[in-house]
Amino acid sequence: MTEWRLANTALVLALLAAGCSSSTESGTTGRIITLKTQASVDDDLTQAKTNALGFSVTLSEAYLSVGPLYYYSGDPVLSLRTSPKASKLAALSRLSDWLVKPAQAHPGHYTAGAAMGEMLTPTTLALHAGTVNLADGDGVTGNTNSAKFTWQSPAQGELASSLRGHVILTQGIATKDGVTVKFIAKADEPDVHDGDDKAEVAGCAFGPTPGAVGVNMDGNGTVTLTLSPSVWFDEVDFSYVAPGAANAPTPDADGVVDITGTLAWQGFLRGVKKGTAYEFSYSK
Amino acid sequence: MKTTIQAFQSLRISVASVALLAACACNGTDGKGTVTITTSGEDYIENGLSSDVFPHDHWSVKYSKFLVVYHSISIADESNDVAARLDHPLVFDETKKAVGNPKTLATFDLQAKTWPEVSYQVGPISDDAAPGDLAADSDVALLKNAQASLHVEGTATAPDGSQKTFNWSLAPATVFEGCHGLQDGKDVLGVTVTNGGNQIVELTLHGDHLFYDDLQSEDAVPRFQALADADANNDGAITLEELDAVPLYTIPIDKGSYGTGALGNVNTLGDYERTLARTIGHYRGEGSCNSKEVNVQ
């Protein structure tokens, strides 16, 4: 591998010596860096959050299995166009990505581009625990624009048993118009598969401005995975599982209903697959 | 895995540098050629999508109108410095099949070299939009009145012969950039202009995309049953308002996953159709581009 790299470097140096200099970003990309990793929760889980259907949702318990995390140069799917200045950088980045591996995806479909970093150690998070340090990852310097979140199954880490075999397990209370639903919402690994049949969310935003070529990882730093469990519940219509609703699940002895298999659960599964629930950022 | 990243980056930097050097080397040429930008909706839009295109529910679709406004086109060098632009937006009806010469947007004289940045933008409609080849003033007026950049009308036919119609005015503003496609049998990023030559660059619209059952998966396929089921008043016409009333989570899995990938703001069939409208642009047939939303606020 070293010889292969030397050959490449020699080729570039030879061509550079042949007469064209360039002030491209190539001089600042490609250096190996260490990326510390942390996970934080965007929502204040001590407070109720009102979802799009008017239900006020409070989580008393929330566990998430986290698998490897990957960071890429490609823009998130169908992102906003960048500024003219950033477009120039995007053009250069696209050129180099295309030369390595031409993107064959249909327009609208996510093209990851070059691998810019990764964190490979799975763990289990208790979302009420606040910001948690994950294992260190590694990467290379350069513009990073999207990321892939994956679920690990079976779950790993000290808290893995809290998931009871699932990849997401939550418990809480939803209220609306005087109706209260105590619920369990959970997902197994097959439930979270995407359209490519993988337990992952590809094309998540990396950085504060999705699509902008401006998240320049220019040295050792920290990648933060910010989780928004409120996104998971934004489309959950708890009226399908409320007491007295047709075909509502039978509550347990504590009055808690498991929403699995209901339309409320289908809304939950759509939420857990949304990229806006898993956003990535970088800081030095 | 670290070595994978190292190796990949090394190759990436190397080939980018070589490409830039190659571009430098070509800058000294005096030759010129032309690029003619054309457009086509291909067989799917001009003649229809047969039931074979819908492998699961076997509907078929025939478009009667497929109006699109090309808001801009640009051809640029590797630094994204633009050398050619479209004068003003042009409207086309992609159901109208060109006879003889293709539907043409513009012809540009350019230096003979590779221009790696070819982009075009669909929408928004604007006051200076004019009819392109085979389009009528009434087509432009329709888009302006609806403030739409894409208008599709058509009829879908179920395997049992029953039919649904659709008449949707959509307002995507999408730039398709970094386009690449086949030129002389090779996948070329942008377009290579040869000395004295004329390159035909077709902006190709794919009519099957409006019926895909996943926004991100490469395995997405066209389906129609969920759209047909959205006709709540059962009058035979599927409206955008009816699509807006269908949350995606209510669609049974046997009628399509309607996966939204990482997108966080696509919750109904109406949202879904508006998002699909941003994916229709291709390049030189099956070539592709990176599509991005343009903020027109």
The residue of chain B nearest to residue A198, with distances taken between CA atoms, is: B217
- Can you give the pLDDT at residue B17? 44
- CB burial class (10 A; 0-12, 13-18, 19+) of residue B18? middle
Q: Contact B5/A18, CB-based, under 8 Å?
A: no
More confident residue, A162 or A111: A162
* Residue B43 pLDDT > 80: yes
Q: Determine contact: B208 vs chain A, CB below 8 A.
A: no
Cα of first residue to Cα of last residue in chain A, in angstroms, is: 30
Query: A216-228 burial, b for 16+ CB within 10 Å, e for fewer?
Result: bbeebbbbbbbbb
Three-class secondary structure of residue B271 per DSSP: helix
**Dihedral sign of CA atoms A28, A32, A36, A41 in order:** positive
Evaluate whether B224 touches B159 at the Cβ level (below 8 Å).
Answer: no
Q: Contact A100/B13, CB-based, under 8 Å?
A: no
Task: Using CB atoms, pick whichever of A79, A195, A276 lies closest to residue B217.
Answer: A195
What are the domain boundaries of chain A? 32-283
- Can you give the pLDDT at residue B8? 46
Q: Determine contact: B117 vs chain A, CB below 8 A.
A: yes
More confident residue, A4 or B187: B187
Chain B residues touching residue A52 (CB < 8 angstroms): 267
What are the domain boundaries of chain B? 1-29, 31-293
Mutate to test the interface with B, among A2, A4, A8, A143 (most CBs of B within 10 A): A8
Q: Contact B250/A266, CB-based, under 8 Å?
A: yes
The pLDDT tens digits for A241-265 are 999 999 899 999 999 999 999 999 9
Evaluate whether A165 touches A265 at the Cβ level (below 8 Å).
Answer: no
Q: Determine contact: B131 vs chain A, CB below 8 A.
A: no
Residue A54's pLDDT band, with cuts at 50, 70 and 90, is: very high
* Residue B206 pLDDT > 50: yes
Residue A87's pLDDT band, with cuts at 50, 70 and 90, is: low
More confident residue, B262 or B159: B159
How many CB atoms sit inside 10 A of residue A248's CB?
Answer: 18
Q: Contact A79/B293, CB-based, under 8 Å?
A: yes
Percent above pLDDT 90 for chain A: 67
Closest-CA distance, A157 to chain B, in angstroms, reads: 21
When pLDDT is averaged across residues B218-239 and rounded to a whole number, the result is 96
Element spanning B74, H or E: strand B60-76
Three-class secondary structure of residue A230 per DSSP: helix
- Can you give the pLDDT at residue A13? 33
Three-class secondary structure of residue A151 per DSSP: coil
The residue of chain B nearest to residue A32, with distances taken between CA atoms, is: B6
Cα of first residue to Cα of last residue in chain B, in angstroms, is: 43
The residue of chain A nearest to residue B214, with distances taken between CA atoms, is: A195
When pLDDT is averaged across residues B250-272 and rounded to a whole number, the result is 93
> What pTM was computed for the model?
0.87
Checking A158-165 for CB contacts under 8 A at 24+ apart, the result is: A158/A124, A159/A63, A159/A123, A159/A124, A159/A125, A159/A126, A160/A65, A160/A124, A162/A63, A162/A124, A162/A126, A163/A63, A163/A65, A163/A124
- Can you give the pLDDT at residue B194? 95
Q: Which string of DSSP letters, residue by residue, matches A12-74?
A: HHHHHHTT-----GGGGS--EEEEEEEEEESS-TTS-EE-TTS-EEEEEEEEEEE--EEEESS
- Across the A/B interface, how many CB contacts are shorter than 8 Å? 246
The DSSP letter of residue B148 is: -
Chain B residues touching residue A269 (CB < 8 angstroms): 249
Residue A30's pLDDT band, with cuts at 50, 70 and 90, is: confident
Task: Using CB atoms, pick whichever of B17, B250, B290 lies closest to residue A12.
Answer: B17
List, in sequence order, every residue forming a beta bridge with A180; answer none if it has no partner. Answer: A175
* Chain length of chain A: 284
The residue of chain A nearest to residue B295, with distances taken between CA atoms, is: A80
**Dihedral sign of CA atoms B84, B116, B91, B97 in order:** positive
The pLDDT tens digits for B135-150 are 999 999 999 999 999 9
* Residue A216 pLDDT > 60: yes
- Can you give the pLDDT at residue A111? 83
The pLDDT tens digits for B159-172 are 999 999 999 999 99
List, in sequence order, every residue forming a beta bridge with A186; answer none if it has no partner. Answer: A169
Task: Provide the ipTM.
Answer: 0.86
Q: Which residues contact B122 (CB under 8 A, 6 or more apart)?
A: B68, B69, B70, B71, B149, B150, B172, B173, B174, B176, B280, B281
- Can you give the pLDDT at residue A113? 87
* Residue B115 pLDDT > 50: yes
